[in-house]
Structure 1
Amino acid sequence: MKPYRVLLYYIYSPIENPEQYREEHHLLCLKLNLLGRVIVAPEGLNGTVSGLAADCEAYMTALHADPRFAGIDFKVDEAEGHAFQKLHVRIKTEIVHSDLPVDPLRQTGVHLEPEDFRQLKNDPDVVLIDMRSNYEHAVGKFKGAVTFDMENLRELPEHIHEIEHLKDKKIITYCTGGIKCEKASAYLLARGFQNVYQLHGGIIKYGMEAGGEDFDGQCYVFDNRLTVEVNQVNPSTVSTCYRCGTPTSRMINCASPVCNNHVTLCEACGHQHGGTCTDDCKNDPDLRSYDGTGYYGKQTQSYSPIQGYKSRQGQRSILSAEK
């Protein structure tokens, strides 16, 4: 068993004072030596964090002890080390930016647990719809799923016309961890789709609990790993190297900071071209050093996990809080 854990979670549950709770949550992460990204919004929480197994267990226990977050369904993966380089706990207006005029606490698609999804996905009356960004589904998606050429969920209204003819079908939406589908499925219902379902816990939970059958390729994740394997039943590769066309699921960020594109690049081309997607990028004078992973954290001088703990009103520091 690997020593670290990576936790992926979200919950729609009202938070009356997001500013105050952000400070409390940031302090909790600091005490448990966790790294990652957590979004606090009036509508709830969205986070991906990593840490030692015992620290992650304590974190989950602490959140479940809060009545507002007792219903959090954590997706837990093992790792050899931290999946993040820094800790950020931020306040936003939404826990996933969508600008969609819906409230998933009032209406959303029917939640399908992984095993129920596995049994239903091949029904001839079912259509799977991928609610992720184009670079995410380019490296992996469910067999036969409808995908949109969109960069984020805000663009969903621009693509509804592509599936208007499917209103008489059973629609199952899916995404990485389930959070986008809460609002995406609600939006489909608001647009007149009748039978709308969503994969509860997303691709990650489906892989963990139902073996990942019929998920082709790998699943893009928003941490140092970039992609993770999901399918333990009938795995395949759907993407090709951006440089040479060789089948590969190996995702990188281009080493050119100006470009920074998410592309699939085979290991040979990665080393041959310094982790760049084009020759123009390869000649970038500010080219980042390619270490074989293709992941580049933002460079911040004198970074410390304690940074960002102070509230925006410049109140107490972590040192005074511990006195």
Structure 2
Amino acid sequence: MQILNIAAYKFIALDDRPALQAALRDTAQSRALRGTVLLAEEGINLFLAGGSSDIHDFLAWLRLDARFQDLEVKESWSTAQPFRKLLVKIKPEIIRMDHPAIRPAAGRAPSVDATTLKRWLDTGLDDSGRPVVTLDTRNDFEVDVGTFRGAIDWRITKFTEFPQALLKHRDELRGKTVVSFCTGGIRCEKAAIFMHEAGVENVVQLDGGILKYFGDVGLAHFDGECFVFDARRAVNAALTPKVDVGALSDIRPVQTVKSCQLV
């Protein structure tokens, strides 16, 4: 395993996006990194891959910016580069929800760590004795690759459908502790904030998403693998791809992926 893959995001106000875009592109290119970085007024979302020393040099440079000093990064390995090129883009949102009232930088959603969630799922109850349900905020084709056992799945095809799905099913969540989850944390954080604003009283996000859960507690209560938006297609509980991605010339794009929703 020679290629280090990293996923990270942070909701933080960014008012210098064009300058930051240029600096990120130059710094990543100089280290031969590939992947995608999204910048928006609400923050940063990135998924990059490269040699270990190059990745760590890039992160050290990025953390010189006080806004990213505490950037939390999830790491995994692959035998080949899973990205064809480097993209650094400015977008209206770092994860599109089409709901401008959601401003996570103003305050994070309450979260639950992987170890606590496993303990809750062991008994089906949270620490207050309330029934616990997990809610998958990902797209239907991601869910089909793997999800928590018994998770609520509204079969959305893109994240912009989540608000309407929540409003349709909101009453079904009453009296329960709802744990929203996703690949790496970004979608489930936005989802948790939206649910709270929509009147769901007891909702938390899974801190770090499935990737961190795998790293902390493995496959407990989870069936299958975690879909990822790159040539690896999915990673197992060890955060390694089930099948060697091989040479990039042999990789075919995922036909169902219409847009880049990194985490």
**TM > 0.5 between the two?**
yes
Q: Residue in 1 aligned with 2:189?
A: 182
Larger radius of gyration: 1
Equivalent pairs counted in the alignment come to 241
Q: Say which SS state the counterpart of residue 99 (structure 1) adopts.
A: coil
Alpha-carbon distance, 1:59 to partner? 1.4
Q: Whole-Å Cα distance in 1 between the matches of residues 39 and 163 of structure 2?
A: 25
Alpha-carbon distance, 1:106 to partner? 2.8
Q: Return 107-116 or 151-160, whichever deviates more.
A: 107-116
Contact 2:39–2:89 (CA under 8 A) maintained in structure 1: yes
Q: Residue in 2 aligned with 1:104?
A: 104
Larger helix share, 1 or 2: 2
**Aligned counterparts, 1:16-55, within 5 A:** 16-55=15-54
- Taking structure 1 as the reference length, the TM-score comes to 0.70
Gap runs ≥5 in structure 1 = 233-248, 251-289, 298-323
Q: Whole-Å Cα distance in 1 between the matches of residues 107 and 201 of structure 2?
A: 12
Cα deviation per residue 1:49-95 (whole Å; 9 max; x = unaligned)? 00001101111212222111112110000111211011100000111
Alpha-carbon distance, 1:131 to partner? 0.3
Q: Say which SS state the counterpart of residue 37 (structure 2) adopts.
A: strand
**How much identity, in percent, do the aligned residues show?**
29
Cα deviation per residue 1:94-142 (whole Å; 9 max; x = unaligned)? 1101112211123443122221222123424101000000110011110
Structure 1 residues 106 and 120, CA, compared in 2 at 3 Å: closer, same or farther? farther
Contact 1:11–1:71 (CA under 8 A) maintained in structure 2: no
Q: Say which SS state the counterpart of residue 121 (structure 1) adopts.
A: helix
Counterpart amino acid of residue 204 in structure 1: L
Cα deviation per residue 1:131-190 (whole Å; 9 max; x = unaligned)? 000110011110010011111111112212224221221010000000001210000000
Q: Residue in 2 aligned with 1:239?
A: none
Q: Whole-Å Cα distance in 2 between the matches of residues 70 and 163 of structure 1?
A: 37
Q: Residue in 2 aligned with 1:206?
A: 213
Aligned-pair RMSD on alpha carbons?
A: 2.1
Contact 1:108–1:189 (CA under 8 A) maintained in structure 2: no
Counterpart amino acid of residue 119 in structure 1: R
Q: Say which SS state the counterpart of residue 105 (structure 1) adopts.
A: helix
Gap runs ≥5 in structure 2 = 126-130, 244-248, 256-263
Q: Say which SS state the counterpart of residue 30 (structure 1) adopts.
A: helix
Higher relative contact order (CA 8 A, sep 6+): 2
**Aligned counterparts, 1:6-25, within 5 A:** 6-25=5-24
- Taking structure 2 as the reference length, the TM-score comes to 0.86
Alpha-carbon distance, 1:212 to partner? 2.7
Alpha-carbon distance, 1:294 to partner? 4.4
